[in-house]
Amino acid sequence: MTGPGALVADRYRLRSQLGGGGMGAVWLARDELLGREVAVKQVLVPAGIDPALAQANREAAMREGRIAARLSHPHAVSVYDMVLDQGQPWLVMEYLPSVSLAALLQERGVLPIAQVAQIGAQVADALAATHAAGIVHRDVKPGNILIGEGAGREGLVKITDFGISRAVGDVSLTQTGVVKGTPAFLAPEVAQGSSPDEASDVFSLGATLYACLEGTPPFGLSDNALQMLHKVAGGDFQPPQQAGALTAPLMRMLSADPAQRPTMVPVRDQLATLAAGPDRDVTEVLTARTTLPKTLPGMPARPRPAPVERTPIAPPPPPPGAAAEPPAAPPAQPAPAEPASRPAPAPVTRRRPRWPAALVAVLVLSVVAVLLVIWLNRPDGQDGTAAGNAPTSSAPAPDSAGQSASPEPDAEPEGTTPSVEESTPETTTPTATTPDGPPTAAEMQQFVTDYYALLPGRPDAAWERTGPTLRDISSPGDYRAFWSNFRSVTLGEVRADPSTLVVDAEVTFVENDGDTFPEQHVIQLVAGPDGQLLVDSDVPV
């Protein structure tokens, strides 16, 4: 009976089950002969089938194991042995403590473009070697791509599960009418009944990278395998919307015509070039470990949360159709009643430029004129005192021109904004303001600089400068725990767009173990109840 402690083929002692599926269970085992840990896969033969067919399946599994053992590559899980135990085939493989790309996507949703390009380049490098050895993988998908974990293995990318691989020309391994592979990642011609080949592996890798960027495979997902095969066979899918510079390479890999797809070597080279960028060697990309992006608890790396989804400021240009979306910053502003349910954030210290006297005078006269028109058009006694006093309450503003610590910083916004919204409720869009008016790019840049200056050493102070979106998906404890992972955080170039309150910033993280990695972040700002800026979301792209 199979279970922990069982000895397979008088050599491999089973320790614990790592996973399982329709093709068989995978176990962590110890090779008693060589004294090393291995992964062994029990290749199941369906019960109740014709004995002759069962024997054919066992023989096929043994052949496939020998085929997979031909391959040796740093980004492919090695196959050590193929044995029979009580008539059942067992595949003996290298053991890699890891998380699968499928599990990673389930946790994070999607991954940054540069990360996807590097993972794709390394997997393509392994598959190029696979094809050169005359082997077709036939089941390239996120679940078969592993990211190593632990000392000596952290970030190591390897493709696994060559258990259904096929040597080119070995037709005896494929039973007529049986489609081997995962439907959502199959090439259209395979779903239509053609035999898998190198071109179908290219499509499956493209579908895997598509899922990493879009959050779903090109043809979606369905529990109904026949329905999924029908959709894949049709070959129609929506072009990627978040792939940036990877859009063109992906579309070539996902061509419905196999003849139009590149082979795996140019796929590898193009992905590696994109991952390298202008300042990195391509060969380094193929050997580098994959550092997974760090995000706050509950906040996906990409896409950005719906309330702040927008066209990025920095290149590359947005994909077709993205520019038509309206800016999301104003709607992300908290409702008037929301601040009452949460302690008001501590005032944010920011450098404010001194306003020129002439500009101050123009602003004051404009406010007075607007309030006067509103007051004259209201019924007698309706907020008459507030309307009549508003110009008076705003009078100190020019006298304190440029003072960053005005004793009544929010008297003007509270006195004027509701009146304007009442007079034009359907045409006025709420806009974030500070006590001195709409923030400038310099103010936004300084605020983000001040915010990151508090991290990682003073997370409680930084938490007081966060907005409603971030607080809805996290808590002070989660926030504190996240930042405790880092030794230091350094801010690079900061770019701000006052029209959307979006800041692009280069952020370099140094973990407690000394690992260093840079990220490009998109930071959405909003105005708090006192008009001060808050960090509503902060996500890597």
Q: Is 103 left (phi over 0), alpha (psi -120 to 50) or beta?
A: alpha
Question: Any catalytic annotation for residue 139?
Answer: yes
What is each CA distance from 58 to 43, 52, 168, 349, in whole angstroms? 8, 10, 20, 72
Contacts of 357 (CB under 8 A, 6+ apart): 398, 401
What is each CA distance from 449 to 489, 490, 492, 519, 535, in whole angstroms? 11, 10, 9, 16, 12
The stretches of 133-224 forming alpha helices (DSSP H) are: 188-191, 198-214
Q: Taking the C-alpha atoms of 369, 375, 378 and 383 in order, what is their torsion angle to the nearest 10 degrees?
A: 140
Query: What does the alpha-carbon distance between residue 192 and residue 517 come to, in Å, rounded to a whole number?
Result: 44
Query: What does the alpha-carbon distance between residue 144 and residue 163 come to, in Å, rounded to a whole number?
Result: 11
What is each CA distance from 492 to 442, 499, 514, in whole angstroms? 15, 22, 19
Radius of gyration (C-alpha) of the chain in whole angstroms: 30
Contacts of 244 (CB under 8 A, 6+ apart): 113, 316, 319
Task: Quickly tell me which residue has 């006093």 as its tokens.
Answer: 389
CB 136 within 8 A of CB 129: no
| Residue 429 CB-density burial (10 A; 0-12 exposed, 13-18 middle, 19+ buried) | exposed
Contacts of 143 (CB under 8 A, 6+ apart): 100, 101, 102, 182
Rounded (to 5) percent helix, strand, coil in the chain: 40, 20, 45
Query: What does the alpha-carbon distance between residue 260 and residue 254 come to, in Å, rounded to a whole number?
Result: 9
HSE-up of 379 (CA within 13 Å, CB side)? 1
Angle at the Cα of 488 (from 466 to 493), degrees rounded to 5? 70
CB 492 within 8 A of CB 507: yes
Q: Tell me which of 139, 161, 436, 504 is the catalytic residue.
A: 139
Q: Taking the C-alpha atoms of 356, 359, 365 and 371 in order, what is their torsion angle to the nearest 10 degrees?
A: -100
Query: What does the alpha-carbon distance between residue 106 and residue 112 come to, in Å, rounded to a whole number?
Result: 15
CB 539 within 8 A of CB 301: yes
Give catalytic residues, as residue numbers.
139
